[in-house]
Amino acid sequence: MVTRIRTDAGVDGHCVGGSEETAAVARRLLVGLDPFDREAIHQLLHRSARLEWRALAGRMVGVLDQALWDVAGRTAGLPAHKLLGAARDRVPAYASTMCGDDGGLGDPAAYAAFASACVAQGYRAFKLHTWMPPYGPDLRRDIAACQAVRDAVGPDVKLMLDPFHDYTREDALYLGRALEELGFHWMEEPMDEHSTSSYAWLCERLDLPICGPESMGGGVVTRAEWIRQGAADILRTGLEHGGVTSIVKTAHLCEAFGLRLELHGGGAGTLQALGAMAIPGEFYERGLLHPELDYDAEQPWLRTPVDAIDADGNVRIPTGPGLGEDIDWEYVREHLVQDWH
């Protein structure tokens, strides 16, 4: 799916994602507005989401917002991070695995072998997504996988864990203390994120940084509440919570409170936001990766990968105009199923 925003100046913006329903609602709300008025549009979409909750879910607003940044960048002939105020031209990447299964990531030894392969490829950090239903959860197997990976890659590679998301407080604490002994860099979402008090409880008891919230909607407002309640040591957001515009708001919030902000997921929009984040934003999440899948072959609509990793484990911020994607429109036309226009 590709969402396109057309302007009367002849410059189009694009973003992969969206839906027919979102396109219809956006057409009704946005036609006739100035595409450079992104903040006004952001507020309009936010106010309209109460009744159009499915068409204007955070992920869908994120697609529209990215397409608007693509318009702005293509009009100016600059990548979006330059319009935002560039801070860097590359960012370290971590290898982010798929969840555990009964195949290529079926046991701790498989995670260890895959981590070693990723380090050999250039990654300097590695994140495990361990077993979810129907293959888990299994608290001790999670710990065994983390131990196996640490043994395989040594002490200098930064390791993170994103485990089963509904452990009890006691299990999350047990897991966190095990990760502290293994020198892990952070842990994400070991409990239901609706329970902010559980995360505040966990942060009080661990030296291991807790990174969140990832899944909770509400954009910057929810994340401000997590800061106020001491529910995370590292904040987390992503394009699915309102796009680049929402990320920028959250980055400024984190900067004011001296907190790091890690972005969930990858892609051109994420890289453009990271390129403008000077203080928070340590890593780019490259994935999801699996030893039996070719990650670089998963986006055939791009002429060149947007997030190629170099020998030092970095991904360069795209320098093309807008989001910086080089879309193969011939491929798109040949595989067109339906044109919402």
My answer on whether 59 and 167 are in the same domain is no
Looking at this protein, which amino acid is placed at residue 310?
D
Question: Is the Cβ–Cβ distance between 290 and 97 less than 8 Å?
Answer: yes
- Domain range for residue 139? 83-316
- Based on the fold, state whether residues 170 and 185 are members of the same structural domain: yes
Asked if 61 and 92 sit in the same domain, the reply is no
- 91 and 24 in a common domain: no
- Residues 6 or more apart in contact with residue 336 via CB below 8 angstroms: none
Is residue 51 domain-shared with residue 136, that is, in the same domain? no
Mean pLDDT of 123-149: 98
Q: Is residue 339 part of a domain?
A: no
pLDDT of 341 over the 70 cut: no
SS (H, E, C) 101-157: CCCCCCCHHHHHHHHHHHHHHCCCEEEEECCCCCCCCCHHHHHHHHHHHHHHHCCCC
pLDDT category of residue 339 using cuts at 50, 70 and 90: confident
CA distance 285 to 292: 19
Residue 202 falls within a domain, yes or no? yes
Residue 247 resides in a domain? yes
* 9-14 mean pLDDT: 96
Asked if residue 156 has pLDDT above 90, the reply is: yes
- Tell me the pLDDT tens digit for each residue of 45-97: 999 999 999 999 999 999 999 999 999 999 999 999 999 999 999 999 999 99
Q: Tell whether 323 is covered by a domain.
A: no
User: Is residue 19 domain-shared with residue 137, that is, in the same domain?
Assistant: no
Q: Is residue 158 part of a domain?
A: yes
* pLDDT for 19: 95
Euclidean distance between CA atoms 180 and 261, whole angstroms: 21
Q: What is the pLDDT of residues 255-290, one digit of tens each?
A: 999 999 999 999 999 999 999 998 879 999 999 999
pTM over 0.85: yes
Any domain includes 341: no
Do residue 233 and residue 101 come from a single domain? Answer: yes
- Based on the fold, state whether residues 110 and 61 are members of the same structural domain: no
When divided into structural domains, the chain yields a total of 2
Residues 72 and 92 in one domain: no
| Residue 126 maps to a domain | yes
Q: Say what the pLDDT of residue 276 is.
A: 97
Mean of pLDDT values over 87-113: 98
For residue 310, is it within any domain?
yes
Residue 9 sits in a domain of what CATH number?
3.30.390.10
pLDDT of residue 268: 98
Q: How confident is the model at residue 340 (pLDDT cuts 50, 70, 90)?
A: low
For the chain, the average pLDDT equals 97
Q: In the Cβ-directed half-sphere of 111, how many Cα atoms lie within 13 Å? A: 30
Q: What is the CATH number of the domain that holds 217?
A: 3.20.20.120
Check whether residue 123 and residue 243 sit in a common domain. yes
Q: How many CB atoms lie within 10 A of CB 53?
A: 9
Please name every residue paired with 159 in a beta bridge, in sequence order, or none if there are none.
126
pLDDT score at 298:
86
pLDDT (tens digit per residue) in 226-261: 999 999 999 999 999 999 999 999 999 999 999 999
pLDDT band for position 188 (cuts 50, 70, 90): very high
Tell me if the bond preceding 305 is cis, omega within 30° of 0. no
Are residues 122 and 10 part of one domain?
Answer: no
Query: Does 256 lie in the same domain as 125?
Result: yes
Query: What is the reported pLDDT for 279?
Result: 80
Task: Identify the DSSP state of 94.
Answer: E
Q: What angle do CA 111, 112, 113 make, to 5 degrees?
A: 95
